[in-house]
Structure 1
Amino acid sequence: MGVALQKAKLYEETRRQAAELEKANKLQADFAAMIAHDLRSPLVNIVGVVEVMMAGMFGDVTEEQKKWLLRLQANSRGLVDLVSDFLDVSQTGVRLCRCDQRSGQSYGDD
Structure 2
Amino acid sequence: MNAEIVLAILAFIAFTIPIVGSLWRIFSIREKLNLEISELRHNIALNDERIKNLIEQQELAINGLKEVVAHVRTRTQIEEEKLSNRVADIEGFLAKSAGFAKRNHGKL
Shorter chain as denominator, the TM-score bin is 0.3 to 0.5
**Larger radius of gyration between Structure 1 and Structure 2:** 2
Q: TM-score, normalised by structure 2?
A: 0.47
Q: TM-score, normalised by structure 1?
A: 0.47
